[in-house]
Structure 1
Amino acid sequence: MEKHIQEVLKQIEIDHKIKILFACESGSRAWGFPSKDSDYDVRFIYIHQKNWYLSIDRGRDVLEIPKHDSISIPIDELLDVSGWELTKALRLFRKSNPPLMEWLHSSIVYYEAFSTKEDLKSLAEKVFTPASCLYHYLNMAKGNYREYLQGDHVKIKKYFYVLRPILAAKWIEKKNTLPPIEFQRLVEILLPFGELRKEIDILLKRKISGDELDLEPRIDLINHFIEKELIYLEDYARSLNEEMTDPTQNLNEIFRETLEEVWG
């Protein structure tokens, strides 16, 4: 599959006349809890040719206003591929965008060229804003909990899509740094051994081993933990002040250096 993904990425470069800077896995495979039927969520950052940026219409044509700054390719049921244009990615990075931060730290890398990724990782701590990142994970957890884990019988595999953002938010609350991308590391560091940890470990083993985790009786112990943490983290988030140093000059330099490095 990795070779196929790289072939798909190469074809995207040809079709769109771009250069991909790096591509990685996002989603359950990167988070460490894939199931046997998990798809591949490939995400990438790309850059256009110089003239695209230096023309007065910045890549527009009369049928393309506003200009597109992302590419999404429906490949098949197993492979989901999409990417962001570099200046869009840099603007989101400036806002401490959590999905982009996760891409930069994904342990599953399908392609990497040029120095852009490492340049951004070196700035990650400078642009990290605890409040915005915590709210991102908190809102994700609340939405997934509301949609999937109500009632006596629930889509039990969806516990992971609530627990992971809750633990990521707790990491921010306790350590004031970017949370690790791997679910297992969050569990090991943040949850003490006990009944809750035991229930989560059992679920994780079942999911990774390929068990069908569809509708089952809800796990009250996990539900109670989720509900308590949602209330606590909501209160904590309100106490945070959003302060950061403006990294725009650094990001402009990264953009210009990447443009020169890629196209000469």
Structure 2
Amino acid sequence: MTQDPMIDEAVRRRIGPILNDIERRDGVRILLAVESGSRAWRFASRDSDYDVRFIYVRPLEDYLSVETRRDVIELPIDGTLDVNGWDLRKALGLVAKSNAVVTEWLTSPVTYRRDAETVARLLGLARTCAHLPALAYHYDRSARRAWEPGDGPIRLKSYFYALRPTLALDWIRRRAEPPPMDLPSLMAGTPLPDDLRDAVAILLRRKQVATEADMAERVPALEAYLADTLSEMAPRPGAWDRGPAIGAANEAFRALLRTERS
């Protein structure tokens, strides 16, 4: 396996046993475990933590109980690792609602564990169920939470937390399809002026050696792109017919449970 510059191999070696412990302790099987934060987005700082996210499935009998089980497994944050996951039923329910986060997990470039056949099925379902107005609204709000126009210094982290969802919003508007998760893929597939690409490259080199708290001066090319793309607010999506998506998610859930039992 080629070493990922964003992932410390000593940390990667810790993650496998942690996932094994979760499976033994909670009686589940982890279908997918990925990196979901800035390390997967490809703009980690030198002190960024690790955001490990996973999707798990329980034995069929657990889903046939009159008791309602918690559908999230969370471990205490230890300063380096932030590990938590969602039950398959919860993940599929969110897929049916066109939740952007689930799709990002399914397309993360950093994978710690992966049931390839199951993930391919879930990703295909997520793309089929994608409701672009809902995705656009999600990325629009994410960008606006991270960035406010102004003249004073801005956290370097905030610039990237604004740029990635803004690019995703731009991608949806231009291509009418769900965007990729990571910054390099978004930039590669979006027509951008050279001065913006050069500015982002410089900021990326800075961020690799910066801390999460480091500040940056405003970059005119980046400010102009954010302002222009966010000048039109993505509206909150109205109600849409989720019936087909719910039906497809239910079918996938039952099929995957039958596979688990066999």
Sort the TM-score into its range (normalised by shorter chain): 0.7 to 0.9
Match of 1:133 among 132, 135, 151: 135
Corresponding position: 1:50 with 2:52 = no
Who is 1:224 aligned against?
224
Compute the displacement of 1:164 (Å): 0.3
Q: Tell me, what secondary structure is at the counterpart of 1:231? A: coil
Residue 105 (structure 1) aligned with residue 115 (structure 2) = no
- Identity among equivalent pairs (%): 36
Q: What amino acid sits opposite 1:40 in the alignment?
A: Y
Which residue number in structure 2 is paired with residue 82 of structure 1?
Answer: 84
TM-score, with length taken from structure 2: 0.87
The alignment of Structure 1 onto Structure 2 pairs a total of residues equal to 251
**CA shift digits 1:153-211 (9 cap, x unpaired):** 22123200000000001000000111111201222332434322221121012223x24
**2:207 maps to 1:197:** no
Taking a change above 3 Å as real, the CA distance of residues 242 and 170 of structure 1, as seen in their structure-2 partners, is: farther
TM-score, structure 1 normalization: 0.86
1:34 aligns with 2:53: no
Deviations 1:6-60 (A, max 9, x none): 110110111112111111110111111122222111111111222221122233x
Question: Cα distance, 1:92 vs. partner?
Answer: 0.2
Match of 2:126 in 1: 124
* Structure 2 residues without counterparts, runs of 5 or longer: 1-10
Distance 2:72 2:150 in 1: 35
Task: Flag as ranges the 4+ runs of structure 1 deviating above 6 A.
Answer: 238-241
Contact 1:52 1:58 survives alignment (8 Å)? no
Aligned position for 2:172:
172
Other-structure match for 2:215: 215
Aligned equivalents of 1:109, 1:194: Cα separation in 2: 32
One-letter amino acid of the counterpart of residue 10, structure 1: N
Spell out the pairing of 1:227-246 with structure 2 (5 A cutoff): 227-232=227-232, 234=233, 237=235, 246=244
Is the counterpart of residue 250 in structure 1 residue 248 in structure 2? yes
- Mind listing any 5+ residue stretches in structure 1 that lack a counterpart? 60-67
Aligned mates of 1:17, 1:114 — CA distance in 2: 21
Distance 1:39 1:159, change over 3 A: same
Residues 259 and 243 (structure 1 numbering): CA distance in 2 closer, same or farther, change over 3 Å?
Answer: closer
Equivalent-residue separation in structure 1 for 2:242 and 2:72 (angstroms): 27
Aligned to 2:30: 20
State the one-letter code of the partner of 1:254.
Answer: A
- After superposition, the C-alpha distances for 1:80-108 in whole angstroms (9 at most, x for unaligned) are 11101111111100011111001111121
Q: CA deviation at 1:69?
A: 1.2
In 2: Cα distance, 1:154 partner to 1:231 partner: 19
Instruction: Tell me the alpha carbon deviations over residues 212-244 of structure 1, each in whole angstroms, 9 at most, x when there is no partner.
Output: 471233224322321222113x16x57999567
Contact 2:32 2:55 in 1 (8 A): yes
Alignment partners' CA distance in 2, 1:42 and 1:156? 23
Q: 2:189 & 2:117 partners in 1: Cα distance?
A: 32
Equivalence for 1:63: none
